[in-house]
């Protein structure tokens, strides 16, 4: 806690000429964070995750001097994309490629035009408050109305080569204008043997009739900690398609909030979580059906190896007086070792009658009969396991339309599986 | 339809007028709770020293605890000092015949299909010599005695079987378990004690006996059932007939202990006063702790509940599956109409190898009712090959009710298999249309669909109650659809 106060003071000193309005938001948010404090086991929504490592480590904000020599080859790049680079929290316009119809603005400019987006409205999420008080990086992407961006826009948030534990609080805003369509990849990567902390907040707004494919990839280094909040607002007849793949960090916590605000809004939310060693991944999803004829479909899968642990908490809330709601939620978990641990809590809160809602959750291991079937046909144990687990994992990728993105993720899953099965 | 529901409403909401209390006979301790009150309760029951100590210990722990507020329930704060914790059973004036009973109440009984003789008992009519409760009771008692089954009021068991009580009381629900269990442990009034010796299959459904012998056990009931190795017992508490009680707070504790190869089947039908249907005022607060433990291998505990009454239901019958190959089951129908709120579900804790559990929960919300399923399935490290199947379905009737599902799942063993499914929907318009088209009126169509929805649970009830439970759903749902 102490280090955060010190860093906050340093931040205020570093940008002495900030807008007063922005400064007020920072001060207010930091007060909110101090009131809330770090989550403890007694907080219902946070009880399964231990944040003491973040609390105890003396992280320092990343300054301009922390920008390393730009490596020749930045990992994680997906073929045939418009790529935007952010390295150790510093946006790199010269390296980045921004297509027509897309505007990327800095944090301050965006804040001036949209201050209401930064209000935390008494949120009980301390990491959102912390991010708002210290937001120091990130970009704001606006897709102009009536534009179609063919190629995916890949944002690479790369953390590497630093001298002492760093932290960053990136704030992203993706605004998809009316009738526009885009494909945005939000990609977190890290290469480091030192501990670091990324606490990101992403706000996604889809105007009427807009369409967005949002792929979120979290491949932080094993030494990192990543907390994130993603907030979607979907207006009428807009379509949102999200795929979130996470495999990195020691500690990962992601709060997803999806508000279907307009009539006829639709959303697909898919997630895959791959964990091994002693990783811990915690995802909380809240889907709010606020208007009529909205649809939401969720599928979250976890594959847990070694001593790793996972938490899934999904909630669908159907608000009063909404009609023709269709919501479903599915959570499937595969335990690969006897020491892995899974906590699932899929919830429904329904305040309206005209609904069709369902949820399901399963947790189990590889079916020995399936293994036997394959082995009796001459496929060795490792290959057979790979086939079964791969099949389980890869249907998450089905809703991704772009072949390059799909093949990148496909390779990623295959490589992860190989490393896990070889260790075992 | 409107006429029917008016009749039912008035039958349910009118003041209870079939008995009065003379001040001289009444043995009531003034409201309030302290150690003296507990000593008085204990001495009135002529309890041994150890029982008093146990109560006081629970009371001291209760003082340190906080009332839980995590359930999705809204009710005004309860003033625990405003409650009187002991009242001797109140004598009620006997009526001479059924003719003196309010005809509307009788109609409700008829709708539920309650036999004539039982109606008399329920309506507090003096029963004739042929169907004398004493003689029936005696026959049952002899039959049970022949098999070595002990079935008696809890306070009697404290006197006659202190060793069993000392050994098992609090072994499943410790006094520190939760706020309401601690309160119950300190002040419990009475309840039932059942002991089935090893190898005995209890010769009758204890429900049958219980219905006839339904004693006024008060608001803090305590039940303890012990099934020795290889035994079987089926127990039913409650009654489908509308039950009135002037005590608003009920906090019962039920403990089940199942030894090797034994089986306990515990069924509940709860139809306490749900409060005024128009304002939501009054109504029973039902805070119940029920838990069973399968101590040794192959034991089985099965909970079945039909919850249609009470303003507030806070109840999570649970199973601790400790013995290898033990089985836990939970079947529930919870209905909340008008202003009723129910937060109910189960907890299955798998400790032993090859343990299995099944959860089937059906929630029905109507009017302004709020229905929550809250369950927990825990599969611990040692529970190799544990298996759980949960299914929670909800039906919504009307646009002001709500239904929620909160299943907590915690798996710590990779060989376990755990499945959870839930769905929420309203009664399909096409289903209703299909029925209407064939000449089935709306009200009947709704109750038919709801009864079909609950079938999986009703079939687990003892037979005669399954029939009554169906009728109870019909009565409880009247007026829910227009």
For B397-437, what is each residue's pLDDT tens digit? 888 889 999 999 999 988 889 899 998 888 878 888 999 99
CA angle, B148 then B152 then B154, to 5°: 130
Distance from CA of B403 to the nearest CA of A (A): 5
- Of all residues in chain B, the one with the smallest CA distance to A306 is B414
Reduce the DSSP state of residue A250 to 3 states and report it. Answer: coil
Pick the more confident residue, A152 or B250: A152
Reduce the DSSP state of residue A15 to 3 states and report it. Answer: coil
- CA dist., res. A2 & res. B211, Å (int): 66
Burial class (CB in 10 A: 0-12, 13-18, 19+), B145: exposed
Contacts of B418 in chain A (CB under 8 A): 361-364
Q: Do B403 and A350 touch (CB under 8 A)?
A: yes
Binning pLDDT at 50, 70 and 90, where does residue B214 land?
A: very low
pLDDT given for residue B152 in this prediction = 84
pLDDT given for residue A234 in this prediction = 97
Distance from CA of B418 to the nearest CA of A (A): 5
Q: Which of B335, B311, B370, B218 is nearest to B13 (CA)?
A: B311
Task: Verify that A377 and A420 share a domain, yes or no.
Answer: yes
Helix H, strand E, coil C: the string for chain B is: CHHHHHHHHHHHHCCCCCCCCCCCCCCECCCCCCHHHHHHHHHHCCCCHHHHHHHHHHHHHHHHCCCCCCCCCCCCCCCHHHCCCCECCCCCCCECCHHHCCHHHHHHHHHHCCCHHHHHHHCCECCCCCCCHHHHHHHHHHHHHHCCCEEEEHHHHHHHCHHHHHHHCCCCCCCCCCHHHHHHHHHCCECEEEEECCCCECCCCHHHHHHHHCCCCCCCEEEEEEECCCCEEEEEEECCCCECCCCCEECCEEEEEECCCCEEEEEEEECECCCCCCCCCCCCEEEEEEEEEECCCCCEEEEEEEECCCCEEEECCEEEECCCCCEEEEEEEEEECCCCEEEECCEEEECCCCCEEEEEEEEEEECCCEEEEEEEEEECCCCCCCEEEEEEEEEEECCCCEEEEEEEEEECCCCCEEEEEEEEEECCHHHHHHHHHCCCCHHHHHHHHHHHHHHHHHCCCCHHHHHHHHHHHHHHHCCCCC
What is the bridge-based pairing of β-strands A196-206 and A166-168? parallel
Q: Closest partner residue to B424 among A355, A360, A364, by Cβ?
A: A355
Q: Closest partner residue to A348 among B405, B408, B417, by Cβ?
A: B405
pLDDT over threshold 60, residue B367: yes
Task: Verify that A192 and A319 share a domain, yes or no.
Answer: yes
CA–chain centroid gap for B416, Å, is: 31
pLDDT over threshold 50, residue B139: yes
Task: Verify that A138 and A205 share a domain, yes or no.
Answer: yes
pLDDT one-digit tens code per residue, A76-102: 999 999 999 999 988 888 888 899 989
Binning pLDDT at 50, 70 and 90, where does residue B124 land?
A: low
- Residue range of the domain that includes A87: 2-365
pLDDT given for residue B298 in this prediction = 95
Last residue of a domain, one of A322, A347, A365: A365
Q: Do B425 and A357 touch (CB under 8 A)?
A: yes
Q: Do A350 and B420 touch (CB under 8 A)?
A: no
Distance from CA of A246 to the nearest CA of B (A): 21
On whether the CB atoms of residues B308 and B280 are closer than 8 A, the answer is no
Pick the more confident residue, B244 or A120: A120
pLDDT given for residue B244 in this prediction = 56
Task: Verify that A394 and A342 share a domain, yes or no.
Answer: no
Contacts of B386 in chain A (CB under 8 A): none
Contacts of B388 in chain A (CB under 8 A): none
Binning pLDDT at 50, 70 and 90, where does residue B1 land?
A: very low
Contacts of B399 in chain A (CB under 8 A): 321, 352-354
Q: Closest partner residue to B409 among A335, A343, A365, by Cβ?
A: A343
The mean-pLDDT minimum among A55-69, A386-400, B210-224, B379-393 falls in B210-224
Q: Closest partner residue to B409 among A344, A349, A358, by Cβ?
A: A344
Residues B80-100, mean pLDDT to the nearest whole number: 68
Q: Which of A325, A336, A331, A323 is nearest to A284 (CA)?
A: A331
**Phi/psi class of residue A146: alpha, beta or left (left: φ > 0; alpha: ψ in -120 to 50)?**
left
Task: Verify that A288 and A419 share a domain, yes or no.
Answer: no
Q: Do B414 and A337 touch (CB under 8 A)?
A: yes
Query: 10 Å Cβ neighbour count for B52?
Result: 17
Residue A269 main-chain phi, psi, to 5 deg: -125, 115
Residue B423 main-chain phi, psi, to 5 deg: -145, 155
Contacts of A344 in chain B (CB under 8 A): 409-411, 420
- CA dist., res. A378 & res. A387, Å (int): 13
CA angle, B186 then B192 then B193, to 5°: 100
As given in the structure block, the two tokens for residue B187 are 């002040």
Contacts of A355 in chain B (CB under 8 A): 396, 424-426
- CA dist., res. B149 & res. B226, Å (int): 10
Element (H, E) at A254: strand A251-260
pLDDT given for residue B119 in this prediction = 66
- CA dist., res. B124 & res. B221, Å (int): 22
Which of B168-177, B205-214, B238-247 has maximum average pLDDT? B168-177
- Of all residues in chain B, the one with the smallest CA distance to A341 is B412
- Of all residues in chain A, the one with the smallest CA distance to B383 is A338
Task: Verify that A242 and A371 share a domain, yes or no.
Answer: no
Q: Do A363 and B418 touch (CB under 8 A)?
A: yes
As given in the structure block, the two tokens for residue B141 are 């008692």
Reduce the DSSP state of residue A130 to 3 states and report it. Answer: helix
Q: Do A342 and B411 touch (CB under 8 A)?
A: yes
Residue B130 main-chain phi, psi, to 5 deg: -65, -45
- CA dist., res. A373 & res. A389, Å (int): 15
Query: 10 Å Cβ neighbour count for A129?
Result: 22
A367 touches chain B (CB under 8 A): no
Task: Verify that A262 and A333 share a domain, yes or no.
Answer: yes
Reduce the DSSP state of residue A187 to 3 states and report it. Answer: strand
Task: Verify that A157 and A301 share a domain, yes or no.
Answer: yes
Q: Closest partner residue to B418 among A321, A340, A362, by Cβ?
A: A362
Residues B240-245, mean pLDDT to the nearest whole number: 58
pLDDT given for residue B104 in this prediction = 67
- Of all residues in chain B, the one with the smallest CA distance to A338 is B414
Query: 10 Å Cβ neighbour count for B463?
Result: 9
Residue with token string 């038919």:
B448
Binning pLDDT at 50, 70 and 90, where does residue B27 land?
A: low
A350 touches chain B (CB under 8 A): yes
pLDDT given for residue B125 in this prediction = 54
Domain map (residue ranges) of chain B: 2-16+39-477
Task: Verify that A416 and A330 share a domain, yes or no.
Answer: no
**Total tally of structural domains belonging to chain A:** 2
pLDDT over threshold 60, residue B17: no
pLDDT given for residue A423 in this prediction = 72
Pick the more confident residue, B460 or A383: A383
Element (H, E) at A314: strand A309-318
Binning pLDDT at 50, 70 and 90, where does residue B70 land?
A: confident
- CA dist., res. B139 & res. A332, Å (int): 56
**First-to-final CA distance of chain B:** 9
Contacts of A352 (CB under 8 A, 6+ apart): A318, A319, A320, A321, A322, A323, A325, B396, B399, B402
Distance from CA of A31 to the nearest CA of B (A): 27
Q: Closest partner residue to B396 among A347, A353, A362, by Cβ?
A: A353
> Average pLDDT, whole number, for chain A?
92
Question: Each residue's pLDDT tens digit in chain A (424 positions)?
Answer: 689 999 999 999 988 888 888 899 999 999 999 999 999 988 988 999 999 999 999 999 988 888 888 888 888 999 999 999 999 988 888 888 899 989 888 777 788 788 888 887 778 899 999 999 999 888 899 999 999 999 999 999 999 888 889 999 999 999 999 999 999 999 999 999 999 999 999 999 999 999 999 999 999 999 999 999 999 999 999 999 999 999 999 999 999 999 999 999 999 999 999 999 999 999 999 999 999 999 999 999 999 999 999 999 999 999 998 999 999 999 999 999 888 999 999 899 999 888 889 999 999 999 899 999 999 999 999 999 999 999 999 889 988 989 999 999 999 999 999 999 887 5
pLDDT one-digit tens code per residue, B263-299: 999 988 888 778 777 777 777 888 999 999 999 999 9
Task: Verify that A233 and A373 share a domain, yes or no.
Answer: no
A349 touches chain B (CB under 8 A): yes
**Phi/psi class of residue B381: alpha, beta or left (left: φ > 0; alpha: ψ in -120 to 50)?**
alpha
- CA dist., res. A349 & res. A235, Å (int): 22
Q: Do A360 and B413 touch (CB under 8 A)?
A: no
pLDDT given for residue B180 in this prediction = 93
Q: Which of B402, B399, B477, B393 is nearest to B442 (CA)?
A: B477
- A&B contacts, CB < 8 Å: 109
Task: Verify that A303 and A399 share a domain, yes or no.
Answer: no
Strand ranges in A106-223 using DSSP code E only, listed in sequence order: 140-143, 153-160, 166-168, 171-176, 181-191, 196-206, 211-219
Reduce the DSSP state of residue A57 to 3 states and report it. Answer: coil
Contacts of B393 in chain A (CB under 8 A): none
**Phi/psi class of residue B3: alpha, beta or left (left: φ > 0; alpha: ψ in -120 to 50)?**
alpha
pLDDT over threshold 80, residue B210: no
Q: Which of A286, A307, A326, A345 to mutate to test the interface with B (most CBs of B within 10 A)?
A: A345
Which of A71-80, A327-336, B33-42, B306-315 has maximum average pLDDT? A327-336
- CA dist., res. B168 & res. B171, Å (int): 5
Last residue of a domain, one of A349, A365, A381: A365
The residues that bridge with B97 in the sheet, in sequence order, are none
Q: Which of B364, B243, B256 is nearest to B302 (CA)?
A: B256
pLDDT given for residue B123 in this prediction = 58
Q: Which of B392, B373, B367 is nearest to B481 (CA)?
A: B367
pLDDT given for residue B471 in this prediction = 80
Contacts of A333 in chain B (CB under 8 A): 411
Strand ranges in A351-408 using DSSP code E only, listed in sequence order: 355-364
Q: Closest partner residue to B414 among A44, A350, A365, by Cβ?
A: A365
Task: Verify that A279 and A408 share a domain, yes or no.
Answer: no
A424 touches chain B (CB under 8 A): no
């Amino acid at each position: 806690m102490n280090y955060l106060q010190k860093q906050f003071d340093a931040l205020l000193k570093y940008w002495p000429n900030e807008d007063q309005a922005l400064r007020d938001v920072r001060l207010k948010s930091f007060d909110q964070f101090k009131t809330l404090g770090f989550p403890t086991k007694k907080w219902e929504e946070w009880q399964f995750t231990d944040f003491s490592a973040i609390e105890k480590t003396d992280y320092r904000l990343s300054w301009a001097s922390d920008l390393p020599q730009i490596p020749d080859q930045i990992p994680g790049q997906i073929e045939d994309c418009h790529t935007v680079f952010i390295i150790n929290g510093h946006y790199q316009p010269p390296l980045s490629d921004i297509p027509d119809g897309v505007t990327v603005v800095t944090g301050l400019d965006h804040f001036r035009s949209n201050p209401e987006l930064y209000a935390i409205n008494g949120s009980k999420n301390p990491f959102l408050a912390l991010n708002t008080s210290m937001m120091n990086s990130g970009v704001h992407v606006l897709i102009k109305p009536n534009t179609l961006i063919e190629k995916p826009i890949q944002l690479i948030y790369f953390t590497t080569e630093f001298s002492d534990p760093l932290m960053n609080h990136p704030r992203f805003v993706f605004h998809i204008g009316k009738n526009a369509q885009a494909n945005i990849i939000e990609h977190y990567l890290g290469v480091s043997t030192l501990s670091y902390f990324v606490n990101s907040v992403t706000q996604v707004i889809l105007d009427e009739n807009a369409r967005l494919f949002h792929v979120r990839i979290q491949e932080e280094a094993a030494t990192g900690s990543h907390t994130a909040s993603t907030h979607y607002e979907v207006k009428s007849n807009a379509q949102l398609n999200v795929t979130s793949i996470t495999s990195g960090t020691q500690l990962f916590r992601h709060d997803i909030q999806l508000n279907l605000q307009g009539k006829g809004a639709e959303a697909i939310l898919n997630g895959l979580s791959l964990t091994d060693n002693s990783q811990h991944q915690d995802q909380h999803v809240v889907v709010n059906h606020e208007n009529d004829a909205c649809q939401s479909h969720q599928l979250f899968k976890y594959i847990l190896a070694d001593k790793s642990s996972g938490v899934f908490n999904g909630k669908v809330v159907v608000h009063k007086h909404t009609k023709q709601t269709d919501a479903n939620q599915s959570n499937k978990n595969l335990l690969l070792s006897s020491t892995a641990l899974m906590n699932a809590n899929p919830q429904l809160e329904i305040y309206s009658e005209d609904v069709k809602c369902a949820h399901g959750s399963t947790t189990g291991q590889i079916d020995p009969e399936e293994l036997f079937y394959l082995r009796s046909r001459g496929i060795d144990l490792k290959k057979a396991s790979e086939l079964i687990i791969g099949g389980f994992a890869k249907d998450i990728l089905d809703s991704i339309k772009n072949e390059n993105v799909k093949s990148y993720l496909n390779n990623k899953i295959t490589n992860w599986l190989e490393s896990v099965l070889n260790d075992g | 339809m409107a006429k029917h529901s008016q009749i039912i409403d008035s039958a349910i909401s009118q003041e209870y007028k079939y008995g009065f209390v003379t001040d001289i006979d009444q043995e009531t301790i003034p409201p309030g709770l302290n150690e003296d009150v507990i000593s008085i309760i204990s001495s009135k029951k002529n309890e041994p020293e150890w029982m008093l100590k146990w109560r006081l210990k629970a009371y001291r722990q209760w003082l340190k605890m906080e009332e839980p507020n995590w359930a999705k329930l809204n009710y005004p704060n309860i003033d625990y000092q405003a409650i009187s914790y002991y009242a001797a059973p109140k004598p009620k004036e006997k009526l001479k015949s059924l003719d003196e009973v309010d005809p509307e109440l009788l109609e409700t009984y008829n709708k539920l299909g309650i036999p004539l003789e039982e109606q008399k008992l329920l309506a507090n009519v003096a029963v004739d010599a042929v169907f004398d409760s004493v003689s029936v009771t005696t026959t049952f008692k002899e039959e049970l005695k022949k098999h070595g089954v002990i079935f008696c009021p809890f306070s009697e068991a404290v006197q006659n079987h202190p060793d069993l009580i000392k050994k098992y009381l609090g072994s499943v629900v410790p006094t520190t378990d939760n706020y309401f269990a601690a309160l119950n442990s300190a002040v419990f009034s009475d309840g039932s004690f059942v002991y089935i010796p090893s190898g005995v299959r209890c010769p009758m459904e204890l429900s049958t006996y219980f219905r006839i012998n339904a004693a006024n056990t008060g608001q803090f009931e305590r039940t303890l059932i012990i099934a020795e190795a290889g035994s079987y017992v089926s127990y039913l508490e409650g009654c489908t007939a509308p039950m009135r009680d002037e005590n608003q707070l009920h906090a019962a504790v039920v403990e089940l202990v199942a030894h090797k190869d034994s089986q306990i089947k515990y069924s509940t039908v709860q139809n306490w006063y749900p409060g005024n249907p128009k304002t939501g005022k009054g109504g029973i607060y039902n805070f119940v702790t029920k838990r069973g433990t399968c101590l040794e291998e192959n034991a089985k505990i099965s909970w079945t509940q039909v919850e249609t009454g009470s303003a507030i239901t806070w109840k999570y019958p649970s199973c601790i599956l400790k013995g290898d190959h033990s089985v836990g089951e939970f079947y529930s129908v919870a209905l909340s109409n008008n202003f009723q709120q129910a937060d109910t579900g189960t907890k299955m804790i798998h400790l032993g190898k090859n343990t299995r559990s099944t959860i089937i929960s059906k929630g029905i919300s109507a009017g302004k009712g709020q229905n929550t399923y809250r369950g927990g399935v825990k599969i611990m490290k040692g529970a190799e090959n544990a298996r759980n199947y949960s299914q929670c379905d909800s039906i919504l009737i009307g646009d002001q009710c709500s239904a929620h599902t909160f299943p907590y799942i915690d798996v710590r063993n990779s060989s376990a298999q755990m499945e959870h499914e839930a769905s929420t929907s309203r009664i399909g318009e096409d289903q209703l249309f299909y029925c209407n088209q064939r000449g089935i009126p709306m009200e009947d169509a709704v109750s038919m669909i709801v009864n079909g929805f609950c079938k999986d649970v009703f079939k687990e009830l003892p037979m005669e109650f399954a029939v009554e439970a169906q009728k109870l759903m019909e009565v409880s749902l009247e007026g829910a659809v227009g």
